[in-house]
Amino acid sequence: MPRLAFANSFWDGYDSLEKPIRAGVRKAMAKFQALTVAELNADKGLHLESVEQARDPRMRTIRITDFWRGVVLAPDDGSDVFLLVNVLPHDDAYTWATKRLYSANTATRALEVRNAVALDELTPLYEEAARTAPELLFAKVSDGTLRELGIDHQVLRAVRSIADKVQLEAFATLLPEDQLEVLQYLAEGFSPEEVYRDVVAVRRPADAPAEPVEDLATVIANSTARIRLVTGPQDLEEMLEQPFAAWRVFLHPSQRRVAYRTSYGGPVQVTGGPGTGKTVAALHRVKHLLGRDDGSRVLLTTFTNALAAGLRENLALLLDSDQDLLKRVDITTVDAYASSVVRGHDAGAPQPVGDREQRQLWGNVVKRLALPFGEQFLAQEYRHVVLGQNLRDLDSYLAASRRGRGTALGPWRRKLVWEAIELFERLLRERGETTHLGVCARAADLLREHGPAYRHVVVDEAQDLHPAQWRVLRAAVAAGPDDLLLTGDPHQRIYDSRVTLGSLGVQTTGRSFRLRVNYRSTEEILAWSARLLAPVTVEAMDGEGNDSLAGYRSLLHGRRPETVGCASQQEEVSALAEQVREWIADGVAPAEIGVCARFNLTLDKAADHLKAAGIPVVRVKGQIPPGADGVQLATMHAMKGLEFRAVAVIGVSASVVPFAREITPAEVDPLQHEADMLRERCLLFVACTRAREALRVSWSGEASAFIPVTAGA
């Protein structure tokens, strides 16, 4: 009996096929599981026929309905896997099939597809232009090196005609996938050795023979990043029934390498720019850890309740709602976990108060003690130095390093600060209250005393955690193999936390990975957003050195983001309504549109205006309400964890972003001032990078200083 596999190109359009066509696909595919090869060839309904003048002689089409055909790659080497590569209207299917050529990459050994006809047509034109180009993109890389990296004869000819990155992108949809990625890495300035390590070695099977094996079944088995083999009738049924989520099946090799490594000696760090699939990698790691079948429990944490709800939903999807496995995972925020630990020991433990109450208390402290410090300064000193280093008495505070704080404090002034801190803590105690970080400190003590509760902890959005929260996680799991895996992006730090992970017992040296391919946004959105951060340096996630956005790229292309300055807020919301209407007219569903602002107040105005224009809206506070159908309005903070086909970021005016109240004056503390400014910049970056296809940034009056001046509108 033949076997059946699906290429990712098939899934790209499957979800948008109409019901009868999908039913046709199911019926046709079922035949591949029920009939022998000879019977398949003879089946009248399926009508498996070769494609005349196809560049790939293995190309076949099959009948799906009267007007729709499936395109199938049929083995001609005695192997038995048939690969469904596309489903298209009749004529398009033939045009598509004629031009495509499938081949095994000589380096990665995986199956790739190219548009061989277009490549042959375009290359001579580029060669002509290349003759007068001052420089060629790959001039410094020898033919031998390119061949070792898997570049074959036809692609090599095209490569030698490429003058710059723009031309490479123009070839992108024509080139075989692995070869394209090799070229993109080289174009970003990575050395051939790095490219071999990050692109070739991660795909190439460990036991690959010296000479490539060409039989289709073997090559397909080497292509897990793009091809899924069907394991049986039930598997087929499930695959075609559920809405298809590519991330569940087709991991990028760099994601797979991180998620499915059998075991790590200790903590692992996974960083990457926005939309590079860090959360996806974290979820697959949890699946891998649960697959060990040793009953061990996993704690999966993230930063907010809304993000935790998203993780819960997606993990259930990844694990096919297997309750036995899901029961072994606790998904929560660090604060909620810490609180459960503390309450488990003492049901009447003090309740944490919010930021506003804390500010009021600091105000009280300053008044009562008549100190030469402001409440903002004291609150920050408490957060970054005292809680950051877990200082419990005056002597430790007197001896502590105040790295990262921008003002010097001699012993006399430190004593005064300590007095204020003692009073603050006493006032809280008297009210039977504490802070969230206070709960964390208590939870870490209890966990250290009573022993860890988990074998594995997986941390998403790790960039935003405070040292007190890290102490909870460190104490929740015994140090050892596969204890901690953390994913995050320091460019998306939107809460005021600074850590040096090594000093907290989370040493990831030698176990750090980086994801570089953005699956969410177009290259145009990514490049524009990256310019928001261009003027600043961003500290690495582990607190050692700096991080950079260099080398990130997207697989998608689209229109450049639009920037719009308006004379008044009224004009801005009117223009917004106009834009939203246009997106909807272009086929974007209201729920696929996100509108985002720094303040709720701005969103209120936008909501009123959109509603008056007859556009349905949903306010997102925390989680998106189930079944919500309308344009989604969220603050920049609430945008984390969301993504939309189209995003409008509004109210990005000079007086709003950065938000002056959140910025410590440079005279109070110059370093804190810089940190606050960076946080506001990152917040805008996060908001903009939630957009998949379209991004529009607007303001009224003067534009925010963060908007790149020369950014093409």
Q: Is 275 annotated as a binding residue?
A: yes
Q: Which stretch binds ligand ATP (CB under 6 A): 242-250, 328-336, 384-392, 631-639?
A: 242-250
Cβ atoms 533, 707 nearer than 8 A: no
Element (H, E) at 117: helix 116-130
Q: Minimum CB separation from ligand ATP for residue 69, in Å? A: 26
Which one of 70, 253, 277, 630 is in contact with ligand ATP (CB under 6 A)? 277
Which single residue is written with the structure tokens 């090869």? 37
Stretch in the footprint of ligand ATP (CB under 6 A) among 269-277, 351-359, 375-383, 569-577? 269-277
Secondary structure class of 364 (helix, strand, coil):
helix
Residue 399 burial (CB < 10 Å; 0-12/13-18/19+)? exposed
Element (H, E) at 331: strand 329-333
Q: Tell me the C-alpha distance between 414 and 130, whole Å.
A: 68
Cα 411 vs. chain centroid, distance in angstroms? 46
- Tell me if 274 contacts ligand ATP by CB under 6 A: yes
Nearer to ligand ATP, 365 or 647 (CB): 647
- Would you say 452 is a known binding-site residue? no
273 assigned to a ligand binding site? yes
279 is in an annotated binding site: yes
C-alpha–C-alpha distance, residues 74 and 80, integer Å = 8
CB closer to ligand ATP out of 100 and 252: 252
Only one of the segments 161-169, 182-190, 251-259, 385-393 lies at the binding site for ligand ATP (rule: CB under 6 A); that segment is 251-259
Where does this chain touch ligand ATP (CB under 6 A) — which range of 75-83, 275-283, 363-371, 381-389?
A: 275-283
Query: 574, 569, 614: which is closest to 590 by C-alpha?
Result: 614
Give the β-pairing of 538-539 and 546-547.
Answer: antiparallel
Question: Was 467 annotated as part of a binding site?
Answer: no
Under the criterion CB under 6 A, does residue 255 sit at the interface with ligand ATP?
yes
Q: Does 278 bind ligand ATP (CB under 6 A)?
A: yes
User: 246 or 713, CB closer to ligand ATP?
Assistant: 246
Residues 442 to 501 in contact with ligand ATP, rule: CB under 6 A? 489, 492
Per CB under 6 A, contacts with ligand ATP among 674-693 are 689
- Closer Cβ to ligand ATP, 461 or 669, answer by number: 461
Task: Name the residue among 455, 431, 473, 450 with its Cα closest to residue 335.
Answer: 473
Binding of ligand ATP by 75 (CB under 6 A): no
Q: How many residues bind ligand ATP (CB under 6 A)?
A: 20
Task: Tell me whether residue 626 is annotated as binding.
Answer: no
Contact code string over 618-647 relative to ligand ATP, x by CB under 6 A: -------------------------x----
Task: Report in angstroms how near the CB of residue 310 gets to ligand ATP at its nearest.
Answer: 9
Q: DSSP letters of 471-510?
A: HHHHHHB-SSTT-EEEEE-GGG--S-----GGGGT---TT
Phi-psi region of 614 (alpha: psi -120 to 50; beta: other; left: phi over 0): left
Residue 277 assigned ligand-binding role: yes
451 carries a ligand binding annotation: no
CB atoms within 10 A of CB 194: 14
Q: Which is nearer to ligand ATP, 110 or 141 (CB)?
A: 110
HEC string of 668-686 equals CCHHHHHHHHHHHHHHHHH
CB nearer to ligand ATP: give 304 or 579. Answer: 304
Instruction: Centre a 10 Å sphere on the Cβ of residue 473 and count the other Cβ atoms it contains.
Output: 29
Is 250 near ligand ATP (CB under 6 A)? Answer: yes
Where are the alpha helices (H) located in 172-245, listed in sequence order?
177-187, 192-195, 216-221, 233-241
Nearest to 615 by CA among 649, 592, 584: 584
Minimum CB–partner distance for residue 683 and ligand ATP (Å): 13
Kindly identify the residues of this chain, within the stretch 522-561, that bind ligand ATP according to CB under 6 A.
none
Specify the amino acid at residue 13. Answer: G
Per CB under 6 A, contacts with ligand ATP among 502-521 are 519-520
Q: For residue 252, state whether it binds ligand ATP (rule: CB under 6 A).
A: yes
Nearer to ligand ATP, 490 or 658 (CB): 490
Q: List the structure tokens of 194.
A: 């790095």
| Site for ligand ATP contains 272 (CB under 6 A) | yes
Judged by beta carbon, residue 118 or residue 317, the one nearer ligand ATP is: 317
Taking CB under 6 A as the criterion, which residues in 357-376 touch ligand ATP? none
Distance of alpha carbon 221 from alpha carbon 58, whole angstroms: 18
Residues that bind ligand ATP (CB under 6 A): 246-247, 250-252, 255, 272, 274-280, 489, 492, 519-520, 643, 689
Binding-site residues for ATP:
272-279
Binding-site residues:
272-279
